[in-house]
A and B are shown apart, each in its own frame.
Chain A
Amino acid sequence: MTPTDPELARKLARSQRRWVVSLAVTALLMLAAAAWGYYRYYPDQVGPAQPISFSHHVHATNKQLSCVMCHTGVADTPRAGIPPVETCMLCHTQVIITHPEIRKLRDHFEHGQPVQWVRVNDLPEICFFNHQVHVNRGIDCSRCHGDVKTMDRVTLAHKFQMGFCIQCHRDYNVSHDCLTCHR
């Protein structure tokens, strides 16, 4: 039934409008808050979904684990290395054993099935990069990989194009020899 009194109708319409406006404003505010929160916590956006939802943020920031705890090869081999599942199991046989993602992990471990992580940082085949040399020189991981500590799902901080490498080599006044990286 439509109100016949025009005054009442106006009143109703106004209150409806106010309701809608306040709803919209609240939604906008919430969105803004969510966006602020998102960019506050994920300044580099979110990376691809991984087969096991591992969070670097939780491990490196909350639990204060060092990068080399898992990426053991970084200081003495060309590759930083993806840790074997056994590394995860060092802790996760003791803590958070029943979480569904940890169960998945344990399944991999017990069945000898490697986890196929989605590659985020990629270097073309024509380039030969050596972590050992850079890390021993004191270059922080974040220089190339961004602030991984803040990332839940790791994302690409810098595109690894030649300019990126050369800029740094210029800054540090180190080799510009082509054969350093290409051979």
Chain B
Amino acid sequence: MPDITRRTFLQLAAGGSVALAVGVGTKDYTHLVAPTHFSQDNRPEVPNTYVTTCRECPAGCGMHVTHANGRVIKCEGNPQWPINAGALCPRGQSALQRLYDPQRLTQVRRYTQPEGPAKAETLGWAKAMAEIGLVLKSVKGRVTVISGLETGALAEVMQAFLAAFNSDRLVFHEAFNYQPLREAHQQLFGQPVVPHYRLEECECVISFGADFLESWLSPVEFGRAYGRMRSLGSGPTGWVTYVGPRLSQTASCADEFILTRSGEDLCVAVALLRSLLRQKLTKNDIALLAPSLESACEKLPMPEGLDQKRIDELARTFATAKASVALAGPVAASGRCSRHTAMAAGLLNYACGRIGQTVDFAHPHAISRTASRENFQSVLTRIISSDVLVIANCNPVYTWPSCRHELRRADKIIYLGCDANETSEIADWVLPVDSPLEAWGDYEPYEDFNALVQPTMSRLHDTWLTGDALLALAQAADKPLPLRKTNKPAGNFHDWLRNRWDELGHKAGADAEQFWQDSLRAGGLVAPTGSSTPPVKLVATSLDFRISAEPTTAPASAPVDGPELWLYANSLLHDGRVANRGWIQEIPDPISQIVWGNWIDIHPQRARQLGVRDFDVLELQGPGGQLELPVRLTSQVHPDCVAVMLGQGHTAVGMTTARRGANGFALLMGGRPEGGFGRVAVRKMGQRSQWIATAPTQEQFGRKLLQWDELGAVQSRKEPEEIRLPLPEGYDAKRDLYPKRNYKLHRWAMVVDLNKCIGCGACVAACYAENNIAVMGAVNCADGREMAWLKVVPYRRDEPVAQPPSAVAADDSGRVGRASSASPTTGAPGAGLSESGRALRPASRPTLQELPRVEFPPGAVAAASSGHAPLPRVGFLPLPCQQCDAAPCEPVCPVFAAVHNEEGLNAQVYNRCIGTRYCSNNCPYKVRRFNWFDASWQPPLDWQLNPDVSVRCRGVMEKCTFCIQRIHRVERQAKLEGRAVRDGEVAPACVQTCPAGVYTFGDLLDPNSAVSKLTRNDVRRYQVLGDLNTKPAVTYLRKVIIPPPTGDKA
């Protein structure tokens, strides 16, 4: 340390004083600014709630948007809306990060040279409207509107807009358009729609590559249904079979995972159909199709490890269940094989009489209105140099990269959107429109489900409604659009919307104003008009099922044995429209736990052939393009398959996302492949690139963090296993070092039902939003400095014997994992952590290469006790702070910053904390997070901060508080009303938003509370690392392994 002279000291002191005096880094709190007028909606620190509809994907979930001090701070599900009933996925919750996106489009811009270095000019709305009006007036070609999926008033405006210019080229472009499904239904039933799948009452679900719990159609709705299916005790437990080439989040939640090549799911589906016919289990006659089924079965290979007996059992289960459904995916497929699989799934539903029961064609999904690939392509091809294109709220240049040049053929492109993206880059005019949280609008996810979108806060920037912009453009071109009711030019889009809703009200026989107010309050209206549509009839007479092994559209360089491509979307990124959001990037992918980028999943067998290791960069050459990504070796994909996650690889979507991963859509161009996505050529690039995972392994190292129970054991067990309750009664003077704790009024506790958890990350997003958790970025995540208070970590079931890496490398053919059933560390569940288990815990975060790998062979069936070797299953373990009764973090804090509070929580007092990090070192659950940096929220992202929670500064430890601010709010309310807190009234953010109902929260001192009953009596209960005697207040209920039902009536 250099000597400090008296002079230097004085200089520093003086500088410091000046800095203090001028208040460096502090906000100006010296003034109180009150509004000039009364406002009911805006009282300081009183949260308000606005009801609206989520527009982050086509699912159409209802939202309650919380608003504090004039700013939107949180999005939650609308409990009254039938689709999501209070739950919301991570995408929906991040809607406010689109509103506050620092890179949002804020100004009307005109680009003079869209290709090459564009010269942008900022101009006002009025001027832009006048200029574009002139262009539209003199347009010689056609006007085309390409938009994201819209229904209701905005769709009407778009149609009217085009009609004014004598055009009908309106294209709703969605990357995931479920085209195979629609084509299959067209071919089978003459109805080219995606029906409303009702999974609520299902006892058996068979999914052919449809990731219905993460990205397929309406994940929150299906997640809720899954949760209900998994509640033990009432009725039979549901059965889910997943057939596909990759262990997705949905596959890991299934009871049975049939690993197939990407075309072999069709074989399973057809085999099921034939089995139904042979066993005479069909309710609706499909005998007409029997010959084609038989011949298809001859041609199609059965996946390895699957026998006819199991197929017959599954067919019986499917047919005899009270309700069942077959779903066909995947989301982005367009191949012929996907269509055939969808047809087989449709036939399964039809044959077992599920149409009208669980498959509702009377209320088709709005996604049925989107353009097919052929439609979109034909619109693209017909674009000529005198055309004017209006592109609204979608990003075709990203999801269909080859369309860039075809779009650019048009004379002028007018882009209406919220975010800057690849498509806005090629536009001549960029018109910034309102985010859905600022906008009026409506959306009809299913027919007769009319949802309203209303502004939840005043505009942040000089933006317009998309509808208003279109109306103004028509006006500027001297073709004002008349309202249907009055036949006079519509003043604004709101009038148009009211007009439509007045008509709806009239249909419902209600007073228009009352109807409008009621709809605003409820978030919309669901009034199914009954099944007025004619019953669905089978129109297909013969079918030609086949998968072609020979690629027809692959580039010439593709070797014949090039792997099948499998593109998928996870529960966070979806099709990539939400990519520029910190939460979405930082919440790990449910299965791989990778953040801030994507990667290639490849089976070790193929990796060996190619000579690649983890992090080696591979180039995939697809039908229309190529991408380069680092690989992740995993046996969770079929050896004949490479899997790439969609949604990353943006080149123009703001700073958060720039240059993260690669765009999987680039591989999809060209014609329609034979299989799901076609085959790709693989080339090793020689360089290496690190993907960043927040959990380096799925192994448990004998720690039994996530435990499983056989259904039989659960049913026969009378008494639950011993656990040490976090209550005075859990105190034992002989065992406990720390004194007994007594609680005054409450002892908050949580029960996590692992059997329901789908790992979607909704709870994690809710935690980020509620508790002002900082987004740290890729570099810090790589250093293990992510700040998530709650993690949902996937763990494998079979706990292998830890082996040195060399031994594993020598035998990575799948034997390691299967040997584990005989391993000495696998004792009785809950038997406690053995000495060897303790020794197995890695001292520090191990590198990936050091970790043993467990693999399972292809084609095997992951059914538990069906005679097959049990495969390592993956379950999801949500891990918040356990709020231990004997918390290891508390006694080691030298300054009493970690203290026990009166209601049982391990309080972290930020203003006391001096950052020794002893508490984190001593926490066996590793749920404490240290602030290595002063987190910053780039304006206006800081507006999302919850004013009820501190923003922690550098050098402070932080952790889950069970959302103490939400607990206090309820306690205060109860006190003011002079009553006790009701059970279930307190819901931390994670509990509130969980689609599957994993969490139960409540007071353990109240013997009648739900949490108390579960903790005390449920036979599946256990505590994670409970043998450390920490007495955690979070009790887990084991995941249940259901024996495969045989379908025979007992």
Residues on A close to B: CB < 8 A? Answer: 73, 77-79, 81-87, 108-109, 112-119, 122, 125-126, 128, 130, 132-133, 136, 175-180, 182-183
Instruction: Kindly identify which residue among B34, B948, B976 contacts A136, using a CB–CB cutoff of 8 Å.
Output: B976
Instruction: Kindly identify which residue among A82, A108, A126 contacts B950, using a CB–CB cutoff of 8 Å.
Output: A126
B33 touches A73 (CB 8 A): no
Closest residue of chain B to A87 (Cβ to Cβ) is B38
A116 touches B32 (CB 8 A): yes
A133 touches B34 (CB 8 A): no
B38 touches A84 (CB 8 A): yes
B29 touches A119 (CB 8 A): yes
Instruction: Kindly identify which residue among A109, A113, A128, A179 contacts B901, using a CB–CB cutoff of 8 Å.
Output: A179
Q: Would you give 26 A-B contacts (Cβ < 8 Å), ordered by A?
A: A73-B46, A78-B46, A79-B44, A81-B44, A82-B32, A84-B34, A84-B38, A85-B34, A87-B38, A108-B36, A109-B36, A114-B35, A116-B31, A116-B33, A117-B31, A118-B31, A119-B32, A133-B972, A177-B901, A177-B902, A178-B909, A179-B901, A179-B905, A179-B968, A183-B948, A183-B964
Compute how far the CA of A179 lies from the CA of B907 in the bound complex, rounded to whole angstroms. 7
Compute how far the CA of A133 lies from the CA of B907 in the bound complex, rounded to whole angstroms. 22
Compute how far the CA of A117 lies from the CA of B949 in the bound complex, rounded to whole angstroms. 26
Compute how far the CA of A122 lies from the CA of B30 in the bound complex, rounded to whole angstroms. 8
A126 touches B910 (CB 8 A): yes
16 new A-B contacts, CB < 8 A, other than A78-B45, A117-B31, are: A73-B43, A73-B44, A78-B44, A79-B44, A81-B34, A84-B39, A108-B36, A116-B33, A118-B30, A119-B31, A119-B32, A126-B910, A133-B976, A136-B976, A175-B902, A178-B899
A84 touches B910 (CB 8 A): no
Closest residue of chain A to B950 (Cβ to Cβ) is A126
Closest residue of chain A to B949 (Cβ to Cβ) is A183
Taking the nearest CB of chain B, how far is it from the CB of A115, in angstroms?
7
What chain A residues lie within 8 Å of B608 (beta carbons)? Answer: none
Taking the nearest CB of chain A, how far is it from the CB of B904, in angstroms?
11
Taking the nearest CB of chain A, how far is it from the CB of B959, in angstroms?
12
Closest residue of chain A to B896 (Cβ to Cβ) is A178
Instruction: Kindly identify which residue among A86, A125, A130, A177 contacts B37, using a CB–CB cutoff of 8 Å.
Output: A86
What chain A residues lie within 8 Å of B687 (beta carbons)? Answer: none
Closest residue of chain B to A133 (Cβ to Cβ) is B972
Q: Is B815 an interface residue (CB 8 A)?
A: no
Compute how far the CA of A86 lies from the CA of B33 in the bound complex, rounded to whole angstroms. 14
B964 touches A179 (CB 8 A): yes
Q: A77-B45, A78-B45 are in contact. Are A183 and B29 (CB under 8 A)?
A: no
Compute how far the CA of A2 lies from the CA of B38 in the bound complex, rounded to whole angstroms. 76
Instruction: Kindly identify which residue among B43, B950, B965 contacts A125, using a CB–CB cutoff of 8 Å.
Output: B950
B972 touches A117 (CB 8 A): no
Compute how far the CA of A179 lies from the CA of B968 in the bound complex, rounded to whole angstroms. 9
Q: Residue among B31, B36, B910 with the most chain A CB within 10 A?
A: B36
Closest residue of chain B to A85 (Cβ to Cβ) is B36
Q: Is B961 an interface residue (CB 8 A)?
A: yes
Closest residue of chain A to B45 (Cβ to Cβ) is A78
Main secondary structure of the interface of A (DSSP, over half): loop
B44 touches A77 (CB 8 A): yes
6 closest residue pairs by CB, A with B: A82-B34, A78-B45, A85-B36, A79-B44, A117-B32, A116-B31
Q: Is B721 an interface residue (CB 8 A)?
A: no
Compute how far the CA of A116 lies from the CA of B43 in the bound complex, rounded to whole angstroms. 17
What chain B residues lie within 8 Å of A112 (beta carbons)? Answer: 36-37
Closest residue of chain B to A110 (Cβ to Cβ) is B36
Instruction: Kindly identify which residue among B29, B961, B972 contacts A132, using a CB–CB cutoff of 8 Å.
Output: B972
Taking the nearest CB of chain B, how far is it from the CB of A156, in angstroms?
13
Taking the nearest CB of chain A, how far is it from the CB of B68, in angstroms?
11
Compute how far the CA of A109 lies from the CA of B899 in the bound complex, rounded to whole angstroms. 49
What chain B residues lie within 8 Å of A177 (beta carbons)? Answer: 901-903, 907
What chain A residues lie within 8 Å of B965 (beta carbons)? Answer: 128, 183
What chain A residues lie within 8 Å of B683 (beta carbons)? Answer: none
Q: A77-B46, A175-B902 are in contact. Are A86 and B36 (CB under 8 A)?
A: yes
Instruction: Kindly identify which residue among B34, B899, B911, B948 contacts A114, using a CB–CB cutoff of 8 Å.
Output: B34
Closest residue of chain A to B962 (Cβ to Cβ) is A179
Q: Is B975 an interface residue (CB 8 A)?
A: yes
What chain A residues lie within 8 Å of B46 (beta carbons)? Answer: 73, 77-78
B899 touches A183 (CB 8 A): no
Compute how far the CA of A84 lies from the CA of B30 in the bound complex, rounded to whole angstroms. 18
What chain B residues lie within 8 Å of A180 (beta carbons)? Answer: 968
Q: A182-B909, A182-B910, A183-B965 are in contact. Are A79 and B901 (CB under 8 A)?
A: no
Q: A125-B950, A179-B961 are in contact. Are A77 and B32 (CB under 8 A)?
A: no
Closest residue of chain B to A109 (Cβ to Cβ) is B36
What chain A residues lie within 8 Å of B45 (beta carbons)? Answer: 77-79
What chain A residues lie within 8 Å of B899 (beta carbons)? Answer: 178
A84 touches B35 (CB 8 A): yes
Taking the nearest CB of chain B, how far is it from the CB of A76, in angstroms?
8
Q: A84-B35, A84-B38, A85-B36 are in contact. Are A178 and B30 (CB under 8 A)?
A: no
Taking the nearest CB of chain A, how far is it from the CB of B134, in angstroms?
37
Instruction: Kindly identify which residue among B43, B949, B950, B975 contacts A81, using a CB–CB cutoff of 8 Å.
Output: B43
Compute how far the CA of A136 lies from the CA of B43 in the bound complex, rounded to whole angstroms. 18
B911 touches A182 (CB 8 A): yes
What chain A residues lie within 8 Å of B907 (beta carbons)? Answer: 177-179
Interface membership of chain B positions 860-902, coded 1 if the CB is closer than 8 angstroms to chain A and 0 otherwise: 0000000000000000000000000000000000000001011
What chain A residues lie within 8 Å of B964 (beta carbons)? Answer: 179, 183
Chain B positions 943-997 with a Cβ under 8 Å from a chain A Cβ: 948-950, 961, 964-965, 968, 972, 975-976
Instruction: Kindly identify which residue among B39, B902, B948, B976 contacts A128, using a CB–CB cutoff of 8 Å.
Output: B948
What chain B residues lie within 8 Å of A82 (beta carbons)? Answer: 32-34
Q: Residue among B39, B45, B902 with the most chain A CB within 10 A?
A: B45
Taking the nearest CB of chain A, how far is it from the CB of B46, in angstroms?
5
What chain B residues lie within 8 Å of A133 (beta carbons)? Answer: 972, 975-976
Taking the nearest CB of chain A, how far is it from the CB of B410, in angstroms?
45
Taking the nearest CB of chain B, how far is it from the CB of A125, in angstroms?
7
Instruction: Kindly identify which residue among B29, B33, B39, B905 contacts A122, using a CB–CB cutoff of 8 Å.
Output: B29
Q: Residue among A112, A126, A130 with the most chain B CB within 10 A?
A: A126
What chain B residues lie within 8 Å of A128 (beta carbons)? Answer: 948, 965
Compute how far the CA of A78 lies from the CA of B899 in the bound complex, rounded to whole angstroms. 26
Compute how far the CA of A113 lies from the CA of B37 in the bound complex, rounded to whole angstroms. 10
Compute how far the CA of A17 lies from the CA of B35 in the bound complex, rounded to whole angstroms. 61
Compute how far the CA of A181 lies from the CA of B44 in the bound complex, rounded to whole angstroms. 18
A86 touches B30 (CB 8 A): no
Compute how far the CA of A129 lies from the CA of B45 in the bound complex, rounded to whole angstroms. 11
What chain A residues lie within 8 Å of B44 (beta carbons)? Answer: 73, 77-79, 81
Taking the nearest CB of chain A, how far is it from the CB of B67, in angstroms?
14
Closest residue of chain A to B951 (Cβ to Cβ) is A125
Compute how far the CA of A126 lies from the CA of B38 in the bound complex, rounded to whole angstroms. 29
Taking the nearest CB of chain B, how far is it from the CB of A109, in angstroms?
6
Compute how far the CA of A126 lies from the CA of B951 in the bound complex, rounded to whole angstroms. 9
What chain A residues lie within 8 Å of B912 (beta carbons)? Answer: 178
Q: Residue among A78, A82, A176 with the most chain B CB within 10 A?
A: A78
Taking the nearest CB of chain A, how far is it from the CB of B583, in angstroms?
21
Taking the nearest CB of chain B, how far is it from the CB of A155, in angstroms?
15
What chain B residues lie within 8 Å of A87 (beta carbons)? Answer: 38
Closest residue of chain B to A183 (Cβ to Cβ) is B964
A132 touches B43 (CB 8 A): no
Compute how far the CA of A126 lies from the CA of B912 in the bound complex, rounded to whole angstroms. 11
Compute how far the CA of A183 lies from the CA of B910 in the bound complex, rounded to whole angstroms. 8
What chain B residues lie within 8 Å of A183 (beta carbons)? Answer: 948-950, 961, 964-965, 968
B34 touches A115 (CB 8 A): yes
Interface membership of chain B positions 653-676, coded 1 if the CB is closer than 8 angstroms to chain A and 0 otherwise: 000000000000000000000000
Compute how far the CA of A79 lies from the CA of B33 in the bound complex, rounded to whole angstroms. 13
Q: Residue among A119, A182, A183 with the most chain B CB within 10 A?
A: A183
B950 touches A182 (CB 8 A): yes
Interface membership of chain B positions 442-475, coded 1 if the CB is closer than 8 angstroms to chain A and 0 otherwise: 0000000000000000000000000000000000
What chain A residues lie within 8 Å of B33 (beta carbons)? Answer: 82, 114-117
Compute how far the CA of A90 lies from the CA of B352 in the bound complex, rounded to whole angstroms. 72
Compute how far the CA of A119 lies from the CA of B905 in the bound complex, rounded to whole angstroms. 35
Compute how far the CA of A136 lies from the CA of B964 in the bound complex, rounded to whole angstroms. 21
